[in-house]
Structure 1
Amino acid sequence: MQAPLAPPPALRAGLLGFGVVGSGTHGVLAANRDTIRARAGCAIELAVVATRNASRARAAMEDGIEVLTDPMQVARHPGVDVVIEAIGGTTDARDCVLAAIAEGKHVVTANKALLAMHGEEIFAAASARGVTVGFEAAVAVSIPIVKALREGLVANEIEWLAGIVNGTSNYVLTQMAAAGRSYADALASAQSLGYAEADPALDVGGGDAAHKLALLAAMAFGGPPRLDAVHVEGIATLQAVDFLHAARLGYAVKLLAVARRSGDELQLRVHPALVPRESLLARVDGRMNGIMVKGNAAGVTMYYGAGAGSSETASAVVADLVDLARAVRGGGQVRVPPLGFWEGVPQPRAASLGDTRLRNYLRVELLNADSAVLVLEALSRHHVPVIKGTQSRNTFVVLSGEVLESAMAAALREIEGMPGVQALTRLRVEQLE
């Protein structure tokens, strides 16, 4: 009688950090142990954890898991095959990730800022050492957008992608639209529910979305993440009245991250925008995320899911671990390049925002109703086409056709300087075509 085969060796993981992401990853690995093993082809075992709060981690850990306080010890630990970076930030995280790679260890991270700022260096080091960096959790958390761009859409030339990729901002905007709240009230609500940090600047200022867009664009169009090429605007200046006007015009207001290729140029921008009310992105509300991708073969595809949360982030982290475990059991390395391209491709150059053509929404508060004519004359002088204009007493709302950003900026400067203009609000319009 033939002896039963020995089980394949486990994939041994070291975890850096035991906060929201780290504790969630431990929880998912423990709760779904049997299912994960069946799908991965071998067990995935947490071998060692590094955290500043060692007593908290020890209380939560099963027997046999080593708890340390120095993350660099985990990065260089001889009993670890893959390092899960969940400490956040960029300086210490970069040092630990590069140290782990130098030791021949794979890395899985949810740290979008780390990869947006240091991705080129990290991916190059991983390639040279023959290891993999997994980062499904770094963009839109529970949405498998990394796998979609790197694998599901590999046959396509990507034309554009547009996404709602920050749950905090989307919750604030949903409250302003649905409940008519001011920005300050909506943000306070998000903070009271734990959806926003005490210092929410990275979220509401658009920085978090810019980090994610840099990674998305690299996977969609090739080349390294180009964070410095992203034009970024936040939502702090939005007013509830503009949500009402947008709705009357058939639009919703969202904070969008957009990458759009035109010839050999690539637009990279994060800003609040009006999107058609019937579009799928207009229906992404609350803390949810949604990303649309237009490929020349697949057409428009849509990806929707939770953009934050402990178990949601852990789901994506463990998905990367399963990919690694499958490769280890198969006797080789993961053969999907981190950003989706094995060979260099001609990179589109970053387009100047001034050369971008977009539609616009304007709300002009006038000192007297007759000044609306002067506003229209100024728009005409700068060749800004007007699709629709409505006036209610001293409020004049304009929807423009496509126009160069440079021309629109010049028109706005003239209008703001008019003696009959009290206030001016401008939002871009994204048609998602």
Structure 2
Amino acid sequence: MTTTAQRTYNPGKGVGEPVGIAILGHGTVGREVVRLMHEYSEDFTQRIGGPLELKGVAVSDKEKHRGTLAEDLLTDDAMSLIERDDVDLVVEVIGGIDYPRKLVLAALKAGKSVITANKALVAAHAAELSEAADAANVDLYFEAAVAAAIPVVGPLRRSLAGDQIESVSGIVNGTTNFILDAMDSTGANYDDMLAEATALGYAEADPTADVEGYDAASKAAILASLAFHTRVTADDVYCEGITNITSQDIEAAKKAGYTIKLLAICEKLTDAEGKKSISARVHPTLIPREHPLASVSKSFNAIFVEAEAAGRLMFYGNGAGGNPTASAVLGDIVGAARNKVHGGRAPGDSTYANLPIADFGEVPTRYHIDMEVIDRTGVLAEIASRFSAEGISLRTVRQEEAGENARLIVVTHTALESDLARTVSQLQESEIVKSVNSVIRLEGE
């Protein structure tokens, strides 16, 4: 019978010993990983203490042209490749959830360390994968699952492990940032900018995961789990996409001194009784134009961390693409391979805090509300009284002409999401409000 002490002891293969690599997938990222492994093989040997040896690449179609990749390295039997005795590390760059989960679990249970770039898999099954890695005393790395080349998983796991993180927020989806940035700089509408993003290759043929916020929600779940030592899944993340953002919203934001970004916001909350909880949310957000995240342009990503001792930190760079993602994957390969050669393991999953997930209605935020109202005396006072009845104070109210009616743009002070949402619902039913054109949350002040 294997004891806990025996499971945690890992002496390593020894300096000079090769580390066998199996790669599952040979798409945009997989190709770059293979290319860079070959191109910088001597450097990797020096960094690791032993050579990396590619043992095989699992693909769905062996007949498809694979460039200079030797045919004898190709297999359409991923499970057999994983089970080979000469494979030490398995790199998963397939995408999806169910099939990769089966393969990754099999690799971990077989004693192979795993590197994955699959944010959906990690966000959905982190607990199961981490338990399998712990049981087999192997590594599970996933730096590339969040913001590609931007190093944020490692810093949260290691560099900031001695600090108390209060919040992690950021732009973690390049497609939506490209669209919103282009709308802001050109005045174009959403549909036109989505079409351009697709033509340039920033958006997939089916952009749903990006524009509806699901991709960012998976990354938010990973960030919240790491930052707050609490298990958070994608299902725990409030998610709202950018499909309803109009050029009028962008223009109104600019006039008020803001820009609109799709943000992932992960916070540690403390209620009036001192009880702590976790909030993770993704939604379009107004931020002041002087905020560091406001200057993140095109398809770039940035993650903003606020910690008790370290203060405010920002990680910025390419958050998607073959080369940036391959860079993060190779960084994980080097780390896991070093452990195979020299012994030891990387920091594993930490969920000791086990904080509850806050109800979204209990999250404090602010609203920017654009509505059309009847243009008559007393309307402003009545609108203000609706907010006041819910205990919500108004920071600014701006009125513009809108034909026979008036356009009101209201910015609130901080209040609970449930109170703000209830007030908007009441306004939508009011006879003095012709329409509520948009409701966008505001952060960063």
* Common topology (TM > 0.5): yes
User: Do the aligned residues in 1 keep the contact of 2:304 with 2:312 (CA within 8 Å)?
Assistant: yes
In 2: Cα distance, 1:326 partner to 1:318 partner: 12
Match of 1:380 in 2: 388
Give the direction of change, closer, same or farther, for the CA distance of 1:285–1:117 in structure 2 (3 Å limit).
same
AA of the residue aligned to 2:300: M
AA of the residue aligned to 1:395: R
* Unpaired stretches in structure 1, ≥5 consecutive residues: 1-5
Give the direction of change, closer, same or farther, for the CA distance of 1:163–1:312 in structure 2 (3 Å limit).
same
In 2: Cα distance, 1:423 partner to 1:316 partner: 47
**Residue 121 in 1 paired to residue 98 in 2?**
no
**Residue 51 in 1 paired to residue 62 in 2?**
no
User: Do the aligned residues in 1 keep the contact of 2:257 with 2:289 (CA within 8 Å)?
Assistant: yes
Match of 1:233 in 2: 240
Give the direction of change, closer, same or farther, for the CA distance of 1:182–1:367 in structure 2 (3 Å limit).
farther
Number of paired residues? Answer: 421
AA of the residue aligned to 1:24: E
Q: Deviation at 1:38?
A: 2.3
Match of 1:22, SS?
helix
Identity of aligned residues (%): 36
Match of 2:324 in 1: 312
* Unpaired stretches in structure 2, ≥5 consecutive residues: 1-13, 271-275
Q: Deviation at 1:369?
A: 5.6
Kindly provide the CA deviation profile for residues 70-101 of structure 1, in whole angstroms up to 9, marking residues without a partner as x: 21122212221111111111111000011111
User: Do the aligned residues in 2 keep the contact of 1:206 with 1:234 (CA within 8 Å)?
Assistant: yes
User: Do the aligned residues in 2 keep the contact of 1:324 with 1:333 (CA within 8 Å)?
Assistant: no
Match of 2:440 in 1: 427
Q: Which moved more, 1:225-234 or 1:176-185?
A: 225-234
Match of 1:10 in 2: 18
Kindly provide the CA deviation profile for residues 28-53 of structure 1, in whole angstroms up to 9, marking residues without a partner as x: 21222222222222222211011023
Q: Which moved more, 1:241-250 or 1:185-194?
A: 241-250
Q: Deviation at 1:224?
A: 2.5
**Residue 35 in 1 paired to residue 24 in 2?**
no
Superposition CA RMSD, Å: 1.7
Q: What is the TM-score normalised by the length of structure 2?
A: 0.91
Residue 201 of structure 2, aligned match among 194, 200, 212: 194
Match of 1:55, SS?
coil
Kindly provide the CA deviation profile for residues 389-412 of structure 1, in whole angstroms up to 9, marking residues without a partner as x: 111112111111011111111110
**Residue 288 in 1 paired to residue 278 in 2?**
no
Residues 14-413 of structure 1 mapped to structure 2, 5 A cutoff:
14-56=22-64, 58-62=66-70, 66-263=73-270, 264-330=276-342, 332-337=343-348, 339=349, 341=350, 344-368=351-375, 370=377, 371-393=379-401, 394-413=406-425
Q: Deviation at 1:210?
A: 0.7
Match of 2:22, SS?
strand
User: Do the aligned residues in 2 keep the contact of 1:176 with 1:182 (CA within 8 Å)?
Assistant: yes
In 1: Cα distance, 2:136 partner to 2:120 partner: 23
Kindly provide the CA deviation profile for residues 140-170 of structure 1, in whole angstroms up to 9, marking residues without a partner as x: 0010101110111111011111011011111
AA of the residue aligned to 2:35: G
AA of the residue aligned to 1:60: T
Q: Deviation at 1:357?
A: 1.4
In 1: Cα distance, 2:66 partner to 2:369 partner: 57
In 2: Cα distance, 1:49 partner to 1:225 partner: 32
In 2: Cα distance, 1:147 partner to 1:28 partner: 21
Match of 1:3 in 2: none
Give the direction of change, closer, same or farther, for the CA distance of 1:9–1:361 in structure 2 (3 Å limit).
same
User: Do the aligned residues in 2 keep the contact of 1:41 with 1:329 (CA within 8 Å)?
Assistant: yes
Match of 1:23, SS?
helix
In 2: Cα distance, 1:295 partner to 1:404 partner: 23
In 2: Cα distance, 1:354 partner to 1:18 partner: 43
In 1: Cα distance, 2:59 partner to 2:18 partner: 23
User: Do the aligned residues in 1 keep the contact of 2:89 with 2:337 (CA within 8 Å)?
Assistant: no
AA of the residue aligned to 1:187: L
In 2: Cα distance, 1:186 partner to 1:422 partner: 29
Q: What is the TM-score normalised by the length of structure 1?
A: 0.93
AA of the residue aligned to 1:429: L
Q: Deviation at 1:58?
A: 4.8
In 2: Cα distance, 1:369 partner to 1:111 partner: 55
In 2: Cα distance, 1:369 partner to 1:154 partner: 58
User: Do the aligned residues in 2 keep the contact of 1:388 with 1:400 (CA within 8 Å)?
Assistant: yes
